[in-house]
Structure 1
Amino acid sequence: MRNNSLKAAFQYKRIDLSKVNTSDSKKAENMGATLKRIWNYLKMEKRKLILVILMVFISSLFALLGPFLVGMSIDNFIAVQQLNGLGLLLLGLVIVYIIHSLSLFLQNYWMVDIAQQTVYTLRKNLFEQFHRLPISYFDQRQHGELMSRLTNDIDNINNTLNQSVIQIFASVLTLVGTISIMLYLSPVLTLVTMSIIPVMFFSMRWITRRTGPLYKLQQRDLGDVNGYVEEIVSGQHVVKTYSQEDYVTSQFEQRNKSLQNTGFWALTISGFIPKIMNTLNFLSFAMIAFVGGVLVITSDGSLVTVGTIVIFTEYARQFTRPLNELSNQFNLLLSAIAGAERVFQVMDETGEEIDEKDAAEIPDTKGHLVFNHVSFGYESAKILNDISFEAKPGETVAFVGHTGAGKTTIINLISRFYNYDSGQITLDGIDIKNIKRSSLRKHMAFVLQDTFLFHGTIRENIRYGRLEATDKEIEQAAKDANAHDFILSLQDKYDTVLDQEGSGISQGQKQLLTIARALLAEPKILILDEATSNIDTVTELKIQEALKRLMEGRTSFVIAHRLNTIREADEIIMLENGEIMEQGSHQELMNQQGKYYQLYQ
């Protein structure tokens, strides 16, 4: 039964392989480009890398010298029963192996340092790239899958750098040195030893052509599993509310099974390598012993000596061992390249649009913002069409309308998460495209319906609004936000540690903390996504009072979900299908008895 399921799984993976395994030229080009980019990171530790290569050269040289000395001791001393000088040769043999061991230790010590520094830089660059990417990039992807690139994929690169770089250098040097000495000692036995290469080559080619795509699928499936786990853990309340535990478990089972299958076949097929190499190794020993024995007997030792046969049996092992290691390391290299390609894929993503050449800092703003016939579309879909309104300093503008009307898009344009296509948006008479994004956002604060708190203390979460704020300023912001009293009721007060979900405090209390954070930032422009839904009446009154205090003297833009909360707004804009249907004060719109009136009723 198990064999049938595995056969079916392999057939399924073969279908996937056809999608991944593109033309050989394209695959080679991608592999070469990826290796070159990894090498550029390694070059940052050039001095240590040179020391590693030097130690690899020394260790490989002395690894070859050891068996040669053993063969000399047999031919020159043991076979002729000559003891004079044997002790000195054995002492030299001990020194050779001591130097060999020391060089191995040093090359591993330095290579670990190089690998860790390389991975540190790579992880740092990837994390920085995350912050250069636009909001839309994260909206379209699972966060857990992106986290997998920062953790699993980079760890994969780290493991390969620690193991493969040294092994590849050592294997190449050992292989070249072994063949050179073998040719010097006996061309005939060298030919016998190398006769296994064609079998080895075609075996490795068969294996690596299958393991390369499988490693890519394994990294993809691992990212898929991580993304799904992160999504379900974050949405546990929804899962339990709708009693969907069995459903999400079955969905996870499918993803987990897919990862198991790709992992199984990647490791199974790559596991053929040591078996094949050991078989060829034993075959090589037998061939050397047979041919060498025949040559010793027929030539009476003139062509080949017993010591030479001993050297060759050891060199045959050293000849197949680097080939074996190269094959294994190539397999690991394919796995690392699969991870590196996913990392570089993120790094190559287009970041948030760069500020225009003439964009400038604005040290201060009055908060006078004007939309003048603004239109915007995303991926060929028109979202906003000919939007015009004015928000004078200190005024409150509210946006109402059904889902998809364009309310959030207007907010995204104000904060420059997106650039408008036509028309103009000005702040204090300056086109916002001529203002640096970072400078524009420094004068803004956001209070959203979905609160977000970082893992840390309450004090640290409030201070996020202005990192240089004093403890006294933090407490004053909490008082203005009506959060001070409930904070003092907690055991550790302002030093209470919260996690990302803010466990231990209510939804309303989380919202009060985000208002305190916004107050501490002292913004001139406020973006408010009404945050009083699913909150008890008493807490809602506290939030409304805190928001009123926060909005005082500031230009505020409010996305309204409950119309009774925006009756005092200076301007209410009714949106439908990306267009302004009505605008005016609450009383003006009620008197018109149009769409706003109908929605309000």
Structure 2
Amino acid sequence: MARNKYDIDEELVSVFRLKDLIRLLGYLKPYKLTMAVTVMLMLVASVANLLGPVLVQDAIDNRIPDGDVTGLVVLAGIFAATLVINAVCFKFRVRLMSTIGNNIVKKLREDIFYKLQELPFSYYDSRPHGKILVRVINYVNSLSDLLSNGFINFITDMFTLVCIVAFMLFINVKLTLISLLGLPPLIITIMFIKNIQRRNTQALSMKQSNLNAYIHESICGVKVTQSFAREKQNEGIFHELSTAYRKAWMKFIKSNFILWPIIDTISTGGVVLLYFAGIMWIQDISVGVLIAFVSYIWRFWLPITNMGNFYNAMINAMAYLERIFETIDEKPAIANKPGAAQMPQVKGRVEFKNVGFAYDVEEGNKILDNISFEFGPGSTVALVGPTGAGKSTVINLLSRFYDVQEGEVLIDGINLKDVTLNSIRRQMGVMLQDTFLFSGTVMSNIKYARPEATDEEAIQAAKTVCAHDFIINLKDGYDTEINERGTRLSIGERQLISFARALLADPRILILDEATSSIDTRTELALQNGLQRLLKGRTSFIIAHRLSTIKNADCIMYIDKGSIVERGTHEELLAAKGHYYKLYNSQFSVMKAV
């Protein structure tokens, strides 16, 4: 399912999958009683509604010729009662089914969202986020009407159709048979156009997904777009995607609405035949019978039209359900194995045993090759080396964002694959280079990993990492609302808040990936004491290009081309005059020149 571009269509599956429909019906199980009540209400309303033509026939053929005024009043009262019953039943039907439909839509959306919380980084790396969003929002919304009204209406229409045929047979058998002549051509037509409708619906969903993916990408990259004056080119791309969506929409509309005029034409032809038969058999048919039959024949085609609309909705729903359930059924590449235990209280011993790893196993390009190391509790380990050497991959494997293909990763002698993900990650603090803040207050972001912490503890954490001073100068201090990703704060300010968040979480193992890369030198110097408190008593892994931040590390590992080339303390590596020595001298010679 890996699709990683906005201009690549998702795979088209043209087969109608009954299992998806059955699975959707499973979401209705908790509401069986409510649906049964609703069906009964609609059946009562249907019967009440169908009494009208019979009452009219009785009035025309019997009451009026006999001058039976009392009988006409009774018929009028019964007719009025049927209207009231129909209105009351319809009111409760709308209320009950709207509640059920929206509850199911909510459950479907929650199921997708919960699954997305479990899926590993590789899932998000392999597809545009816009194509994920369209499933959670648009595709689920498209099922709302089907769930709120479709199934109940279908049951009701089926019952109504049977009742109408029964009433028609009761009134006149020959006219009934003539009325049913339009059904065979209608069924043939439906069977012919159903695959066309499904293909067009799926094509529309693909173009909608592509368009949504590009919109999301463009919004996220709008600063880059404006920086390089790419607006016109992007407008051209959007125009092409929008045009493709429009063409798919027009095909969808044409196939979706072709059924209604066909039903209308066949129903009109049926009425014409009925009138013709009535004229031919006028001596055998009363005026009341003919009027009642004409009324029933129009009502006969109404539920058929409704069922045709339901059929269209079902065809459309299958295209969306296919994508929804595909997401819900996605197997997490990183998951708890059966019988996985809870990770006990971590002491902090970390070991990599002959670890080999590739992000794309099929291509076979190893990012790490036969990596081995071991560090005791409380150690501070720095990872340095050129870009793309595998430093971030080491911490991704330690956090179990990915699983190793070769070797083992152990904490306190326990293989990470043998324990649950939550029990590992709750005892880790990870601060990535791409700092992410959530919409909300500064305080809520600091407390994100430990919501139960007090405000005083959060403020103390901010003071420790030198974030307090700039926070209290914000408009509302710690209660200042920041938008998604914290874009109204500088990158350095976001990193300081992330430091405070990591410190407040009090993890046993701490991972800092370029955590000070966007902090100015003055703040970094002030932060050193705070960093020492942050690192004290916990095992820490630090990736840093600023070598000044890792001088005091217990061990520095120089990684290049997926292997550990050198390891040792700062002084030991300088004395060895190898890769680290060259990197250190080149960095500080640049600083002196500046």
Using structure 2 for the length normalisation, give the TM-score. Answer: 0.92
Q: Are the equivalent residues in 2 in contact too, given 1:56–1:169 (CA < 8 A)?
A: no
What corresponds to 1:136 in structure 2? 122
Q: Which residue of 1 aligns with 2:484?
A: 500
SS of 1:171's equivalent?
A: helix
Is contact 1:478–1:513 with CA below 8 Å preserved after alignment?
Answer: yes
In 2: Cα distance, 1:571 partner to 1:327 partner: 72
SS of the residue aligned with 1:523? Answer: coil
- Higher mean alpha-carbon deviation, 144-153 vs 361-370, is at 361-370
SS of residue in 2 equivalent to 1:556:
strand
Q: What code does the residue aligned with 2:49 have?
A: A
Q: Which one of 286, 292, 298 corresponds to residue 305 of structure 1?
A: 286
Q: Is 2:320 aligned against 1:339?
A: yes
Write the distance in 1 (CA, Å) between the matches of 2:264 and 2:415.
Answer: 72
- Structure 1 residues 384-432: Cα deviation after superposition (integer angstroms, max 9, x where no partner): 2211112222222122233332222211111112222333322223333
The one-character-per-residue Cα deviations of 1:517-548 (angstroms, maximum 9, x if unpaired) are 00100112111111333544334444555434
- Where in structure 2 are the equivalents of 1:5-24 lying within 5 Å? 20=12, 22=14
* Counterpart residue number, 1:95: 81
- Distance in 1, matches of 2:521 and 2:145, equals 55
Partner of 1:6: none
CA offsets, 1:141-175, max 9 Å, x none? Answer: 22222121111111111122123122211211111
CA shift digits 1:34-77 (9 cap, x unpaired): 11111110111111011111112112212222222112211112
SS at 1:370 equivalent: strand
> 1:280 deviation in Å?
2.5
Is 2:241 the counterpart of 1:252? no
Q: 1:541 to 1:257 in 2, by over 3 A?
A: farther
1:163 aligns with 2:155: no
Deviations 1:455-484 (A, max 9, x none): 100110001121110011011011111111
- Deviation string, structure 1 residues 235-280 (Cα, Å, up to 9, x no partner): 2221112221122222222222222111121112222232222222
State the match for 2:378 in structure 1. Answer: 394
Aligned to 2:307: 326
- Identical aligned residues as a percent: 37
What is the RMSD of the two structures over their aligned residues, measured on CA atoms?
2.1
Q: 2:570 & 2:255 partners in 1: Cα distance?
A: 71
Residue 529 of structure 2 corresponds to residue 529 of structure 1: no
CA–CA distance in structure 2, aligned partners of residues 522 and 448 of structure 1: 16
- Contact kept? 1:508, 1:539, Cα under 8 Å: no
Moved more, 37-46 or 188-197: 188-197
2:36 corresponds to: 50
Counterpart Cα distance in 1 of 2:280 and 2:463: 97
Q: For residue 241 of structure 1, what is the amino acid of its counterpart?
A: S
In 1, Cα distance between equivalents of 2:120 and 2:53:
61
1:357, CA displacement in angstroms? Answer: 4.6
Match for residue 465 of structure 1 among 435, 446, 449: 449
Partner of 1:314: 295
Aligned equivalent of 2:536, options 532, 552, 556 = 552
Q: Secondary structure at the match of 2:511?
A: strand
**Mapped partners of 2:529, 2:211: distance in 1:** 44
Q: Is residue 564 of structure 2 the alignment partner of residue 580 of structure 1?
A: yes
Q: Output the CA distance in 2 between the equivalents of 1:338 and 1:178.
A: 33
Match status 1:370 vs 2:365: no
> Aligned partners of 2:472, 2:60: CA distance in 1, in Å?
86
Q: Secondary structure at the match of 1:452?
A: coil
Shift in alpha-carbon separation, 1:558–1:62, aligned structure 2, 3 A: same
Residues 532 and 543 in structure 1, CA contact (< 8 A), matched pair in contact too? no
Q: Of residues 404, 407, 413 in structure 2, which corresponds to 1:420?
A: 404
Distance (Å, rounded) in 2 between the aligned partners of 1:544 and 1:268: 67
Structure 1 position 449, deviation (Å): 1.2
| Secondary structure of the structure 2 residue equivalent to 1:371 | strand
Cα distance in 2, alignment partners of residues 438 and 591 from structure 1: 42
Task: Note if 1:152 corresponds to 2:138.
Answer: yes
1:351 to 325, 332, 339: 332
Please give the alpha-carbon distance, in whole angstroms, between the structure 2 residues aligned to 1:88 and 1:358.
Answer: 73
1:120-135 aligned at under 5 Å gives the runs 120-135=106-121
Counterpart secondary structure, 1:501: helix
> How many Å separate the matches in 2 of 1:532 and 1:21?
48
**Does structure 1 residue 517 correspond to structure 2 residue 501?**
yes
Q: Is the 8 A contact 1:144 1:227 kept in 2?
A: yes
Matches within 5 A, 1:275-286: 275-286=261-272
Does the Cα contact within 8 Å between 1:208 and 1:270 map onto a contact in 2? no
Contact 2:466 2:523 in 1 (8 A): no
Which deviates more, 447-456 or 547-556?
Answer: 547-556
- Does the residue aligned with 1:386 lie in a helix, a strand or coil? strand
Alpha-carbon contact 1:115-1:161 (below 8 Å) kept: yes
The letter for the 2-side match of 1:478 is A
- State the match for 2:274 in structure 1: 288
SS in 2 for 1:349: coil
Q: Whole-Å Cα distance in 2 between the matches of residues 164 and 429 of structure 1?
A: 57
- Alpha-carbon deviation of 1:564? 4.1
1:189 matched residue in structure 2: 175
Residue 417 of structure 2 corresponds to which residue in structure 1?
433
Match of 2:216 in 1: 230
SS in 1 for 2:28: helix
Tell me how far 1:569 sits from its aligned partner: 2.3
2:64 matched to 1:83?
A: no
CA contact (8 A) 1:157 1:337 kept: no
Cα offset for 1:375?
A: 2.1
Q: Which segment drifts farther, 582-591 or 537-546?
A: 537-546
1:512 deviates by 0.5
Deviation at 1:570, TM superposition (A): 2.0
Counterpart for residue 12 of structure 1: none
Greater Cα shift, 253-262 or 521-530: 253-262
CA shift in 2, pair 1:21/1:117, >3 Å? closer
Using the TM superposition, give the Cα deviation of residue 84 of structure 1 relative to its aligned residue in structure 2, in angstroms: 4.3
Deviation at 1:81, TM superposition (A): 4.8
Is the Cα–Cα contact under 8 Å of residues 511 and 543 in structure 1 kept in the other structure? no
Rounded to whole Å, the distance in 2 between the matches of 1:132 and 1:558 is 26
Q: Partners of 1:352 and 1:209 in 2: how far apart? A: 35
| Corresponding position: 1:486 with 2:486 | no
CA distance in 1, matches of 2:218, 2:528: 33
Q: Which residue number corresponds to residue 247 of structure 2?
A: 261
Say how many residue pairs are matched. 574
- Name the amino acid aligned to 2:281: L
TM-score by length of 1: 0.91
Task: Provide closer, same or farther for how the CA distance between residues 539 and 494 of structure 1 changes in structure 2, counting only shifts above 3 A.
Answer: same
**CA pair 203-356 structure 1, distance change in 2 beyond 3 A:** closer
Aligned-pair CA distance for 1:316: 1.0
Is 1:565 aligned to 2:565, yes or no? no
Alpha-carbon distance in structure 2 between the residues aligned to 1:217 and 1:576: 46
Change in Cα spacing, 1:41 to 1:387, as seen in structure 2 (3 Å) is: same
Query: How much has 1:80 moved relative to structure 2?
Result: 5.2
Gap runs ≥5 in structure 2:
1-8, 587-594
1:204 equivalent among 180, 184, 190:
190
**Residue aligning to 2:105:** 119
Alpha-carbon distance between aligned partners in 2 of 1:455 and 1:240, rounded to the nearest angstrom: 24
Question: Once the 2 structures are TM-superposed, how far is the Cα of residue 307 of structure 1 from its aligned partner?
Answer: 1.1
**Distance in 1 (alpha carbons) for counterparts of 2:260 and 2:62:** 36
Contact (CA 8 Å) 1:383, 1:578: kept in 2 or not? yes
Query: 2:432 & 2:259 partners in 1: Cα distance?
Result: 56
